[in-house]
Structure formats: structure tokens, C-alpha cells
Structure 1
Amino acid sequence: MGIFQPFRAIGYIPSGVPFSIQRLGTETFITVSEGKAFQAYNCAKLILVLFSAQFPHKMRTLASYLDFTSVVYAAHICVFKRAHQVATWSRHSGKVNSLMVFGDHVISVDVDGNLFILGFKGVEENYAPVWHILMGNKFTPTCMMHLDTYLNKVLIGSQEGGLQLWNFSTKKMLFEVKRWGLSVTSCVSSPALDVVAVGCSDGKIRVHNTRYDEEVVTFTHSMPGALTALSFATDGQPLLASGGSSGVISIWNLEKRKLQSVVREAHDSSIISLHFSANEPALMSSSADNSIKVRSISASAYVLNNE
């Protein structure tokens, strides 16, 4: 056995895992995967404030809630209070590809269509499985989101091109959208009730009303490739940001239903995550090029990378 053990990768900022944003008091923090560990930055100046020990395998996804971070590697879900591991849960048999914190619950979905809901009250002894749903053979989950005012419900996108809305309390599927026939690669809820944006492998964005099962508007991303990230503005502006495998970020005006601007050299590789800051015109992005960037709507504010 060697004297030195792996601890932290120098100059490694984000990997290909989407980041997680959480607000504590007046400060906002971003938690990112750096492969076999996670680290957290203060969003005000992108200063590193926390990093974890390394895991046996690369992380697949993560989600944060208050001081707690849930991470997934292989089929295991590990819970950390700041940098200290407090729980491990290994009910999944397949690889977990989506994880979401929803109120007092952590929701996880694996490639075999198993959805598990875990009760989470913020203390270690209350972290326990509550519900299990099997979504069926012809539905391979790819992304997951919660819509405001939809009590105990999650909307899940699939590789087969559909969406399913599930009530995890009753374990019933409420409705399904099948019409696109292309893999759903990204999905996000909007500030408007019942409205979601769905990104597909053909580069199109479908803004959809779930209550009436109607398409509001369809946009086509400015560069070829799959849609990989979406985010709605929350400061009152009718804007939707989209990022794709080409590294380009597009800003869409939902009121005028047209493209407002394009950041052509946003990143040198595929966009992994996008997030509009709460109540301010700032857009945060991460990429497989190992960088996190924060921009105003019109110009870059500051950059963190390993250059």
C-alpha cells in the first residue's frame, strides 16, 4: 500500500455532472462534481468553500438541500452534511441517472425505471425509503422536475421521447405525452404555472402547457446537436436560456417568441448546466470544458477555470 492516498484534484472544477444550486440565508452556493468528489463555491465571487473526500467511483449526479448534499455513484446514494458523510442508501439495482430534492424528500430514478422516494427531514435518522414506483419497460428516464403547486408530483422525461407525470404519494401516473418520438435530454419548469420547457436530441425546445397538454411554442437551437441544459429567468424578464452539445448558449424571448441573443463562444465544449440567478439578470453555466462562468445578460461577469 502506498504512502499517499488520493485527496483532491488540483485545477479540476466541474465534470460532466449538472451542478446544484442552493440558497442559505442571503448567500447562494453552487455544488459541482469534480469526478470522484464534490466541491461547493460561493456564487458571489465563485470562491471555493467546501470539498469532499473522494468516492470509489465517479459521481453520476448530485442534489443539495440546506447543509446537505446527496450524491450518486454507481447504484449508491450517499448523503453528506457539509463534507461529512452521514448516510448511505443502496436500494437501486441499476445506475441512478436522476436525483432531485423535493421538500422533505429525495427522489431518485435509475435506468431501469425504478423511482424511489426517500423521507428527508434534515437529520440522519429520518433518512429512509418511503415509496417505490416502477414506471414500465418502454420508459427509460432521462430527466426529472417538479412543477410549482403540483403537490407530491414529478414530471419525468424519457429516452423514448415522452413525458410522464406521476403522483408519488398514490403511485399513479396522471398523464403521458408521447408525441415527440425523440429522446428528451433536458427539462425545466417555468415561473408560469403549468408551463415547462423540454429539450430534445434534435436540438428543438418545446415549451409545453401540462394542464392542457398543448405546445405553447417551439424553438430550434442555433447550432446542431442535442439540447443539454435549459433555464428560465426568474427576475420578471420573459427569457429562456438553452445550451447544447456545441457549447453555444441561446437566449429566447418568450413574449416575442423569437431568439433574442446568442453567446457563440460561451464554452469550448458541451453545456452541462444553466441557471438564472434568483431575481437578477445573471446566468450561470458549466461545461465539460472544466469551467463555470457567470454572465450578465449582455456580457461576461467573471470566469472560473483552470487556465
Structure 2
Amino acid sequence: MGIFEPFRAIGYIPSGVPFSIQRLGNETSVTVSVGKAFQVYNCGKLTLVLFSPQLHHKIHALASYLDFTSVVYAADICVFKRAHQLATWSRHSGKVNSLMVFRDHAISVDVDGNLLILGFKGVEENYAPVGHIMMGDKFTPTCMMHLDTYLNKVLIGSQEGGLQLWNVSTMKMLFEVKGWDLSVTSCVSSPALDVVTVGCADGKIRVYNTRYDEEVVTFTHSMPGAVIALSFGTDGQPLLASGGSSGVISIWNLEKRKLQSVVREAHDSSIIALHFSANEPALMSSSADNSIKSDYVDCKRGGCYNSFLVLPYASAFLK
């Protein structure tokens, strides 16, 4: 064994894992994966707040809840309170590829289609799951989300193109959408009741009403590639932001049902995650090009402005 162990890489900001937004009181922070560790930035100025110790494997999913950060590496889920490791949950037999925390539930899905529901009321070592759902051979989960106002319900997208709505308390499937025969690559809840937006591998964005089982409107990216990230504006502007493998961010006007603007040089690589700040016209984005950006979106000006990059010297260390 060598004398030195890796501690922190200079200029390493985010990896290819979607970030997690955490709001406590008036403070909002963003947690990003940096290989075998994670970092927390203040959303206001994008300054580094804290960083975690190195784990044994690379992180490939993370989620934040109150003061807790849950990260996935290999088949394990590791729970931190700020930068202090509290517990490790080892309940999956296969690699975990998705993790979501909402209210008192932590939900994880592995490559074999096993969905485990963990109670998050207390953090204990190897806490026993309160529920288990097997998705089946013809439904390979790719993304999941909690619908606003839907108590204990989770919508899951699949590689086969279908959607399933599950009640994680009763562990029963409520309904299934056959889909569009194309992989669902992202999904997000809208401010409107019963409405979700689904991004697909063919570059199409489908705004879908779950109550009436019908599409409201469909948008198509002008650039080729899958729709990887989606976010709705919450400041009164009827906007939807989308990003994909081309590195371009598209802003859609939902009221006029058309493309509002395109940020063509948003990032140099795939858009990994997007997030509109609560009640503000600020859009945060992260990319596989090792950067986080925050842009102000204004319909009156027709697009985005005042964009800035976190630590732009980082690319010099990594490329």
C-alpha cells in the first residue's frame, strides 16, 4: 500500500451524475458528484461549501433530504449528514442506477429491476426496506419522479418507452402508459396538476396528462440526441427548459406552445441536469464538460443572459 491516498482533485467540479438541489430555510445548495466524492455549492454564488471524504467506488447517483445526502456506488447506498458518513445500506444484489428521496421514503432501483423502499425516519446501518417491487422483464427502469400532490406515488419511465405509476405505500401499480416505443430518458413533474413532461431518446418532449391519459403537446429538439434533462419555471413565466446530448439548452413557451429561445453554446458536452430556482428566473445547468452554469431567463428579452461558469480554469486540469 502506498503512503498517499487521493483526497481531492484540483479543478474537478461535476462528473456525469445529475446534481441534487437542497433547500433549507432561505439557503439553497446544490450537491454534485466528483468521482468518488461529492461537493456542495451555495446556489447563490456557486461557491464551494463542503466536500465529502473519498469512497471506495465512483458515485453514479445521489439525492439530498434535509441535512442528509444519500449517494450510490456499486450496489450500496451511503448516507451522510453533511460530510460525515452515518450508515451504509447494502440491500441490492445488483448495481443501483437510480435513487430518489421524498418525504420519509428513500427509493432505489437496480439494474435487475428491483425497486426498494426504505423508511427515512431514522438512519441506521443496513436499515431494513419497508417494501420491494419487482418491475418485471419487459420494463427496464430508466428514470423516476414523485408527482406533486400525489401522496406516496412514484412515476417510473422505462427503456421500452412505457410509464408506470406506483403507490409505494401499498406497493400496487395504479396504471400503466404503453408509451412510444422509444426509451424514456427523463421525466419531471409540472406546476400544473396531473401534468408531467417526458423526454425521449428521439429528441421529442411530450407534455402528458396522467389523469386523462393523453398528450397535451409535443416538442421536438432541432439538434439530434436524447432529451436528458428537463425543468419547469416557477416564477410565473410559462417556461420549460430542456437539454440533451448536444450540449444545447432549449427554452419552450408552454403558453404559446412554441420554442422561445435556444442557448447553443450552453455547454461543450451533454447536459446532465437542469433546475429552475424556486420563484426566480434563474436556470442552473451542469454538464459532462466539468462545469456548472447559472443563467437568467427572461421572456421579454427573448432568451438567457448573464451566464457565468464556475471555476473556468478547471478544463485546463482535466483536458
TM-score bracket, shorter-length normalisation: over 0.9
Q: Deviation per CA, 1:35-85, whole angstroms, max 9, x where unpaired? A: 111000001101101101111111110000111000000110000001111
Corresponding residue of 2:2: 2
Letter in 2 for 1:228: I
Alignment of 1:121-270 (within 5 A): 121=121, 123-124=123-124, 127-270=127-270
Greater shift in the superposed pair: 295-304 or 214-223: 295-304
3-state SS of the aligned residue for 1:299? strand
* Partners of 1:164 and 1:173 within 8 A in 2: yes
Corresponding residue of 2:18: 18
Corresponding residue of 1:46: 46
Q: Distance in 1 between matches of 2:125 and 2:75?
A: 21
Q: Deviation per CA, 1:169-227, whole angstroms, max 9, x where unpaired? A: 11111111113000000000001111001000000000000011100000001211111
CA 16–125 in structure 1, closer or farther in 2 if over 3 Å, else same? closer
Q: Distance in 2 between matches of 1:177 and 1:103?
A: 26
Shift of 1:87: 0.7
Corresponding residue of 1:100: 100
Q: Distance in 1 between matches of 2:108 and 2:243?
A: 24
Corresponding residue of 2:306: 300
Q: Deviation per CA, 1:148-178, whole angstroms, max 9, x where unpaired? A: 1111110000001110000111111111111
Shift of 1:2: 1.5
Question: Is there any run of 5+ residues in structure 2 with no aligned partner, and where?
Answer: 298-303, 314-319
Q: Does 1:117 align with 2:117?
A: yes
CA 128–155 in structure 1, closer or farther in 2 if over 3 Å, else same? same
Corresponding residue of 2:284: 284
CA 284–142 in structure 1, closer or farther in 2 if over 3 Å, else same? same
Shift of 1:300: 2.9
Q: Distance in 2 between matches of 1:241 and 1:33?
A: 22
Q: Deviation per CA, 1:16-50, whole angstroms, max 9, x where unpaired? A: 00000011111100000001110000011011011
* Partners of 2:106 and 2:117 within 8 A in 1: yes
Equivalenced residue count is: 307
Q: Distance in 2 between matches of 1:104 and 1:265?
A: 40
Letter in 2 for 1:37: A
Letter in 2 for 1:135: M
Q: Distance in 1 between matches of 2:262 and 2:269?
A: 16
Corresponding residue of 1:60: 60
Question: Is there any run of 5+ residues in structure 1 with no aligned partner, and where?
Answer: none
3-state SS of the aligned residue for 2:129? strand
TM-score (norm 1): 0.98
Q: Distance in 2 between matches of 1:221 and 1:231?
A: 15
Q: CA RMSD in A?
A: 1.2
Greater shift in the superposed pair: 46-55 or 115-124: 115-124
Shift of 1:102: 1.1
